[in-house]
A and B are shown apart, each in its own frame.
Chain A
């Protein structure tokens, strides 16, 4: 469905230095630096997949999305999406995709949301019947009924984002690119958006590529993640593997009857300790958690024990560190 091969893109950025003298100099002569936003990115995405595209700020996520949606022309490499090269057959191609840029808006600010939808209907030349059924589905699943007649400027961010997503899907695209769809949303809206993405993926088989900084989005939605940093592809695989590879750390939290002796168990490291409470970190590849608990119960009188896998956020931070991005 999506085949990206060896995409590179660099931007020419004017160097600016501080100070009046430097500013005056730059009037006559400007120095440029070449920023390599993407270096040789390749991946393939099958129909019906949900792929989380992650990486720190400035890694090149949005650039990739823009190239895949035909907005930017890359410097090199090929990209074949449903048989099209996005930047070459732009008009033909974009009929098949929906795009949401979380930080931008596609709705007309001054008129009710429904008017924007009607305009999109004509832009995409959607037959009335098809439009109506998609529209009904979107209104129902995204709970837009009460806000569809309000002008966009009166909507809250969460309401607007739901409308934006609906607007991107009104023409029934087969691929959906979401660039930070949950940015700035509250917990309820986030869950609604996630639920919806899942629904259209399962029921309509829409292929979804989403970028986000919220790892909960990834955990809830994507079974595959692509990690990029500084323009290079660092990891491409499923989330479980990522966890196994980088997330063998677990934390054990234990409450016990007051015991002044500090806890020391081989193969663990103490994260925090008080006479009634301890948090231990273990590497499950070297130490079994059951062993640790057995040893722990021999030292103190246990009241409560919880074992947690490392949060995905931590794994990502660790990853970023490891790759020095």
Chain B
């Protein structure tokens, strides 16, 4: 466990070195959040039928999405790991007395945590003090908030497990771009990051509900706003856990099989 704590520490240290990047990120996400809200607001004003999610819930959804970007975006990647694989520096990783899956999982988790820790507060605080209807609202009650924290963290663990497959695929393709694009576009779409899942056509919703992606973002954000009831949220936590265990198991299996075939080229 101590290893993982030190990885988090070193990651935070690295993150701190790029403070201006963090501020630039905050500004971008804030701007992006505003634009999305304005677009959705325009749609809502002229909606012929009552949308399946209220504007207030939607705005909360978008602000949470922007604040916890590092928790939910698949394209948020660790280039260092890609470099390790493509340059052959992975040789050193294989000389360490640790299980590689756990080690990398911890690295990826630490990177997302450190990035989110540096960036989420300014967005959350600012979004709270915005004028209506643009503001972020508090969850309906304390229990909902607790459920939100649990589902968000489980969602993060799940997302890291999904993203591990991205890194594993690079062992075979040796170029991260293809996997990143496919994973990024499909994963983020079905996680409800482009259009919130409740606003998708029914047939698309059915697909999104089967795939694991929505459990990383759509689910915790809707728990927060109360759009998903507390009893449904508790069931969802179990589904998240099942997905998490299954993906961890599959990921470990996949990594072990590519490691057997790994060839570190060059002197």
Contact B96 A94 (CB under 8 A): yes
B88 CB within 8 Å of chain A = yes
A14 to chain B, nearest CB (A): 12
A219 CB within 8 Å of chain B = no
- Interface-located stretch among A117-125, A196-204, A270-278, A290-298: A117-125
Given contacts A70-B94, A71-B94, contact A110 B99 (CB under 8 A): no
Contact B7 A119 (CB under 8 A): yes
Of chain A, the residue at the smallest CB distance from B103 is A123
The interface residues of chain A lying within 8 Å CB-to-CB of B7 are 119
B211 CB within 8 Å of chain A = no
A90 CB within 8 Å of chain B = yes
Given contacts A92-B97, A99-B92, A115-B10, contact A62 B267 (CB under 8 A): yes
Q: Which of A70, A91, A103, A108 contacts B266 (CB 8 A)?
A: A103
B260 CB within 8 Å of chain A = yes
Q: How many residues of B contact A (CB 8 A)?
A: 27
The interface residues of chain A lying within 8 Å CB-to-CB of B5 are 122
B95 CB within 8 Å of chain A = yes
B147 to chain A, nearest CB (A): 34
A104 CB within 8 Å of chain B = yes
Bound CA span A323–B166, Å: 46
- For the side of the interface on A, what is the size category? 35 or more
29 contacts between A and B (CB under 8 A): A11-B263, A61-B267, A62-B266, A69-B91, A69-B95, A71-B91, A94-B94, A94-B95, A95-B97, A99-B91, A99-B95, A101-B92, A103-B266, A103-B267, A104-B87, A104-B88, A104-B89, A105-B92, A111-B13, A115-B13, A116-B10, A119-B3, A119-B10, A122-B2, A122-B3, A123-B6, A123-B98, A124-B96, A179-B267
The interface residues of chain A lying within 8 Å CB-to-CB of B17 are 110-111
Of chain B, the residue at the smallest CB distance from A93 is B97
Contact A124 B263 (CB under 8 A): no
11 other contacts beyond A95-B97, A99-B95, A111-B17, with CB at 8 A cut-off? A62-B266, A71-B264, A94-B96, A99-B92, A104-B91, A111-B10, A118-B6, A119-B3, A119-B7, A123-B3, A123-B96
